[in-house]
Structure 1
Amino acid sequence: MKFKTLVFFSIFSILFFAGCDSKDDKKQDIQPSNNSQSQFNLNTLKNIPIEIGFSDNKLILKDSNNKLVLVNFFATWCPACKVQIPNLVKLQDDFQNDLVVVGILLEEFKSNEEILSALKEYNVNYSVTNAVEGFDLAKTLGGLKSIPTSFLVDKEGNIFQKYVGIVPNEMLEIDIKKLLEK
């Protein structure tokens, strides 16, 4: 019985602290360039446009209404990403006046209907994009070695923290509260 418990907690710990590996092993984790300037026009699953700009190491979500932004890169096939979704839903609920959560889907050839069906059980209350430009945004931010990967951005567009893998809500809440106190 003790062995089974030990094995269970070992497997859970591995899944909890690790994300899903990128399918492209040749990607390098480079830092974003200070001179990089890009504009990304993404569409949500509800066909609402989202404009994200990246310039001088600032990630600006147009129409964020002076809120913090949490950008989450994920895929529907990724078990760690699925575990992270309820945490993001809770954060959006708890900080709805101060935070905008945006999910950037990193999957090709999926229709909005397929994605909505996959996310239906999670009652997602934040914007989720389904656009090829999401891959370009990930590259501009230095590339991603695993998902989920999230970026917490302050009201001025500065990237405050990068999170790789599943992040406990308590950690995200502490960082969000730090930024709100500034």
Structure 2
Amino acid sequence: MKFKILLALLMGFFVLAGCEKKDEQSANSEPEITQSTENIPAESTIGTNYTAPFSLTFTNNQILNMQKNKNGFSIENGGKTTLFAFFASWCDACTIQASALNTLVEKYGDKLDVVAVLIADEISLDELKEYEKKVKAKFKIAYGEANDFFTGTLGGISEIPYLVIYDKKGKFSAQYFGLIPEEILTLEMEKIL
């Protein structure tokens, strides 16, 4: 009986904790190759201008123009509060989180923009569209190189799902790591909207 309780608690921890980004070497079974500093590109992460404007591309070919500023982001979405959910298709907690995101779109769609941002995942657009169908996404899903740039503007992301909310003026409001219950997100939206 104690074993079953311990096993249930352990499983609950993994679901609530979220998913860590996959180690690239474990994803590829090839050994790590090191380079000398003379082969590093001229524009490294340290030299990247994260205040430059960028555009997220969605699976429906629409785009969202953004630019980092001192309070958060300038987000060209008609002055809506924006929830960004960083995810990967292989992350079980991210797939579970999609249900709560769908509910938020249903409740607050006229005031809230929900955008899922694909990271740490190398899948084709067709595979991403299949995932979109699987989770019955009512939210937008961004893919492409701009997602990596966006992640860099935030200083990187070590755990997914990662949710970050910006108010209608693009000012940072809240962030959450791991699987977040729908009730908590609804309470947060009631405070912000």
TM-score bucket of the superposed structures, by smaller chain? 0.7 to 0.9
Shift of 1:12: 1.6
1:106-125 to 2 correspondences below 5 Å:
106-125=119-138
Name the aligned partner's letter for residue 49 of structure 1. Answer: I
Would you say 1:41 and 2:40 are equivalent positions? no
Instruction: Provide the residue aligned with 1:23 in structure 2.
Output: 22
Query: Share of identical aligned residues, percent?
Result: 30
Structure of higher CA gyration radius: 2
1:26-105 to 2 correspondences below 5 Å:
36-62=50-76, 64-105=77-118
Instruction: State the distance in 2 between where 1:176 and 1:38 align.
Output: 29
CA RMSD of aligned residues (A): 1.9
3-state SS of paired residue (1:13) = helix
Name the aligned partner's letter for residue 125 of structure 2. Answer: N
Would you say 1:3 and 2:3 are equivalent positions? yes
Name the aligned partner's letter for residue 88 of structure 1. Answer: L
| Conservation of the 8 A alpha-carbon contact between 1:148 and 1:165 | yes
3-state SS of paired residue (1:37) = coil
Shift of 1:6: 4.1
Structure 2: runs of 5 or more not aligned:
25-48
- How many residues are aligned here? 169
4+ residue stretches of structure 1 with deviation over 3 A? Answer: none
TM-score by length of 2: 0.80
Structure 1: runs of 5 or more not aligned:
26-34
| Conservation of the 8 A alpha-carbon contact between 1:21 and 1:145 | yes
Instruction: State the distance in 2 between where 1:65 and 1:141 align.
Output: 22
Would you say 1:153 and 2:152 are equivalent positions? no
Shift of 1:139: 1.1
Report Cα offsets for 1:69-117 as digits up to 9, x if no partner: 0011100011111111111011111111211000111145422111111
TM-score by length of 1: 0.85
